[in-house]
Amino acid sequence: MAAPPGYHDAVQLARSATRELDEESASWLRRLASAASAERQAAERELHNRLLRIALTEVRRRSASTQVTGPELDDVAHQAAGDAMLAILAKLTEFRGDSRFITWAYRFVILEVSSKLGRHYWRNPPVALDAAQWERFPDRLGLDPHQHAEAAGILAEVRHVVDTELTDHQRQIFVAIVVDGIPLTALAEKLGLQRNAIYKVIFDARRKIRRALVAKGYLDEPGAGQR
């Protein structure tokens, strides 16, 4: 892979701005930014092999929570390693030595695996985006079915608050994630939103629901049980 003009100088500048690197990290940076193409290409091959090994391990670690199986899982790993490699080389000048270089690099491939598996979810989704399977909510929440009346009461209260207190956007996301159990990463991919945006909606919705249930006397004020 050819380095763009001025690239080696940029990496050197970035290195001078970083904190003192451990020997291994300094070696990675030096070799990946080397003006000698043979040395640089050898380092790129070595890094890619390590990223691929991590990606293959990671897709298997996540295999229980994805419908992707067999050779397709390996394809995801290869794509993740390739895309992570491109991102790492493009962002090499941003490495500041806050961690070991290899840990910084592995973060890219782990996030690539996560994102790619999230995207695959929609090829054969077990539940539609707007299914709203409220009848499964007590199970998802982990409510004790032996306390049936109480569980039904909780379901009715939460559903009422969701229907009346949340905005349409909050309700759509809360129902998709919490009620229907759609993985957060998959929903983010589907709606074209950052994962953080989805998380923030759920975070705010929880607080809103809690406040409403406290106001109704259904739950205690925060900290009341600790007095």
Partner 1 sequence: MTNRETLERFLQTDPRDVGCGEAIAVLHVYVDLIAAGRDAADRYPGVAAHLAACGPCGDDFAGLLAAVTSEQAEG
Site of interaction with partner 1 (CB under 8 A): 54, 57-58, 61-62, 98-100, 102-104, 106-107, 110-111, 113-114, 141-144, 147, 150-151, 154, 158, 183-185, 194-196, 199-200, 203, 206-207, 209-210, 213, 219
Nearer to partner 1, 35 or 197 (CB): 197
Choose among 195, 184, 77: nearest CA to 121: 184
CB of 185 to partner 1, least distance (A): 5
Nearer to partner 1, 30 or 62 (CB): 62
Lookup: tokens for 69:
């199986």
Nearer to partner 1, 33 or 158 (CB): 158
The CA distance from 40 to 32, in Å, is 5
Close Cβ partners of 116 (under 8 Å, ≥ 6 residues apart)? 76, 79, 80
CB of 66 to partner 1, least distance (A): 11
The CA distance from 126 to 124, in Å, is 6
The answer to whether 157 and 216 are in contact (CB under 8 A) is: yes
CB of 35 to partner 1, least distance (A): 27
Nearer to partner 1, 37 or 107 (CB): 107
The CA distance from 37 to 3, in Å, is 9
Nearer to partner 1, 78 or 100 (CB): 100
CB of 99 to partner 1, least distance (A): 4
Choose among 90, 74, 75, 85: nearest CA to 108: 85
